[in-house]
A and B are shown apart, each in its own frame.
Chain A
């Protein structure tokens, strides 16, 4: 863990930690899925989480998003201990998650998908009494968000099914970016995509980071991780084996730490 060197640290200012886990343990009967894992996401970074199958990546993410309750340990958001009862709690706290399978409603248009579950209502009596949606404002907001993220899409009132796989995942990612106040967690967001489409989504993840939202990226794909991550959190046997920088370590180093052939 001493090997981590980020620009921020080099200057000597202590970076703000957005999401932190301390000594989190999760056991299922005799099986220990998380064996005292630590985790630290800093402001403005893309933190990749890598590890072999069964190393505890998904369990860690589920613990962070409230999808499961840790057996012991502490999770802090902006330095404050939190106890999520479920994924909705995490969302209310400003944490958005993007999943590997494309979580969009294909027949609905792009704007509707962006605002799905968080629709805007028209102002005044039309909205409060007649519950009318403010479609125009949702379209405008959606357009603005997509422009800001520099994500290339056809018209905002096209159904999502007319988009390519990469564009569809882009909609899911943009939705997370639009509503996350603290951070975005992405669980293998490009696993179902081709090379070019993956590039589009990675570009989008970068623009989210550049807008100031930190991103946790769980990925199997080492080239992608080295392409965009600021730091790499390596899981092994339910613990954090190391956090390294792609600038100081090679892919081979990371794989070696993942498999236990080397330590950081």
Chain B
């Protein structure tokens, strides 16, 4: 490539178009915009302990949104996000309260969540059922089953290991929970998988054009299975983080987790039609939701405004996605 570095048939892409064209550029501007507004209206917003709180409040939806991103990238949707996570908290909590070893209990709970993801993936890839219906069914089954197991009510889970993710450490002026660190680690790992490995390439390819993926020899069904499996594993880890935040196993918890995680993914610029977007956007999307909630509360504004603004953002994000798809 010494003589042909400047290839005559190529017009290189400018740095400006690369930055503006990056899928997470829009969401990042929105996030910065909200931060500026809240910081100007209330100086307490930028206080380090407030920023720590925002991160802690973002952890669960932020982690669930990782799995949701994977599923949506394959042109699917996961409505069982919250239910699978609650499965993890109930099972781990029950086992620990029965006197089992907490590490094994949590491990088993995470394994069960992974199995639930695998079941969803099996139905989607094996029987070729629409992900929407499969995960809606799993949501119903799990919700009912978990209420039966826990006899309808929430119960406290007091165990230092299960609560460990809620412990804090100081990083400069920041007080971070281990849960926050786990969230960032998960984002880093899955980002690497999506962007630097063949596995991730194929996730995008399947979401983009399943038929083309099949024609070039990608084992589409097996790949879908692996996506749902990984998503289930991530929801299981989210269950541990949830117990660290609130030491309580509640079968009625996380009812809004499905929509919240989808919101984070969509605001982050990932297309509901699959194959476009990515994890950086999702992290920004989850932070936007967290910042909005925190900033409006600090400003003393009715929290209902939060839902209203989030709703507007979702519609704008989907509209922009549609418009860019129509253009191409």
Q: Are A105 and B275 in contact (CB under 8 A)?
A: yes
> A89-129: which residues lie under 8 A (CB-CB) from chain B?
91, 99, 101-108, 112, 116-119, 121
Alpha-carbon distance A77/B82, docked complex (angstroms): 55
B193's closest neighbor in chain A, by CB?
A131
Chain B interface, number of residues (Cβ within 8 angstroms):
29
Q: B199 interface residue, CB < 8 Å from A?
A: yes
Q: B19 interface residue, CB < 8 Å from A?
A: no
Q: B328 interface residue, CB < 8 Å from A?
A: yes
Q: A158 interface residue, CB < 8 Å from B?
A: yes
B206's closest neighbor in chain A, by CB?
A105
B328 / chain A contacts, CB cutoff of 8 Å: 106, 161-162
User: Which of A132, A140, A153 lies in contact with B196, CB distance below 8 A?
Assistant: A132
Q: B256 interface residue, CB < 8 Å from A?
A: no
Q: Are A107 and B276 in contact (CB under 8 A)?
A: yes
The smallest C-beta distance from A221 to any residue of chain B, in angstroms, reads 23
Known contacts A146-B9, A154-B11; A104 and B276 CB within 8 A of each other: no
Q: Are B7 and A133 in contact (CB under 8 A)?
A: no
> B55-87: which residues lie under 8 A (CB-CB) from chain A?
none
The smallest C-beta distance from A263 to any residue of chain B, in angstroms, reads 38
Q: Are A116 and B201 in contact (CB under 8 A)?
A: yes
A102 / chain B contacts, CB cutoff of 8 Å: 212
The smallest C-beta distance from B10 to any residue of chain A, in angstroms, reads 5
Known contacts A105-B208, A156-B10; A143 and B216 CB within 8 A of each other: no
Known contacts A116-B213, A119-B198; A107 and B9 CB within 8 A of each other: no
Q: Are A147 and B7 in contact (CB under 8 A)?
A: yes
B218 / chain A contacts, CB cutoff of 8 Å: 116-117
Q: B159 interface residue, CB < 8 Å from A?
A: no
Known contacts A132-B197, A147-B4, A162-B328; A152 and B9 CB within 8 A of each other: yes
Q: A211 interface residue, CB < 8 Å from B?
A: no
1/0 contact string of A131-148 vs chain B (CB within 8 Å): 111000000100110110
Q: A151 interface residue, CB < 8 Å from B?
A: yes
Q: Are A140 and B1 in contact (CB under 8 A)?
A: yes
Alpha-carbon distance A116/B216, docked complex (angstroms): 7
Q: Are B197 and A153 in contact (CB under 8 A)?
A: no
A153 / chain B contacts, CB cutoff of 8 Å: 9-10
Q: B13 interface residue, CB < 8 Å from A?
A: yes
Alpha-carbon distance A104/B197, docked complex (angstroms): 19
Known contacts A103-B212, A103-B215; A147 and B9 CB within 8 A of each other: yes
Chain A interface, number of residues (Cβ within 8 angstroms):
38
1/0 contact string of B1-42 vs chain A (CB within 8 Å): 100100101111100000000000000000000000000000
A175 / chain B contacts, CB cutoff of 8 Å: 216
> B84-126: which residues lie under 8 A (CB-CB) from chain A?
none
> B245-260: which residues lie under 8 A (CB-CB) from chain A?
none
Known contacts A131-B199, A133-B197; A107 and B275 CB within 8 A of each other: yes
- A interface: dominant SS: loop
Q: Are B11 and A155 in contact (CB under 8 A)?
A: yes
A104's closest neighbor in chain B, by CB?
B212
B7 / chain A contacts, CB cutoff of 8 Å: 143, 146-147
Q: Are B13 and A105 in contact (CB under 8 A)?
A: no
Q: A157 interface residue, CB < 8 Å from B?
A: yes
Q: Are B209 and A133 in contact (CB under 8 A)?
A: no
Q: B307 interface residue, CB < 8 Å from A?
A: no
Alpha-carbon distance A170/B10, docked complex (angstroms): 15
* 24 pairs, CB–CB < 8 Å, chain A vs chain B: A103-B209, A103-B211, A103-B212, A104-B212, A105-B205, A105-B212, A107-B204, A108-B204, A108-B208, A116-B205, A116-B212, A116-B213, A117-B213, A131-B196, A131-B198, A132-B197, A143-B10, A146-B7, A146-B9, A147-B4, A153-B9, A153-B10, A158-B13, A162-B328
Interface residues of B (CB under 8 A from A): 1, 4, 7, 9-13, 192, 196-199, 201-202, 204-205, 208-209, 211-213, 215-218, 275-276, 328
A104-B212, A143-B1, A143-B4 given; 17 more Cβ-contact pairs under 8 Å: A103-B209, A104-B209, A105-B205, A106-B208, A106-B209, A107-B275, A107-B276, A116-B212, A116-B216, A117-B216, A119-B198, A119-B201, A147-B4, A150-B9, A154-B11, A155-B13, A162-B328
Interface residues of A (CB under 8 A from B): 88, 91, 99, 101-108, 112, 116-119, 121, 130-133, 140, 143-144, 146-147, 150-158, 161-162, 175
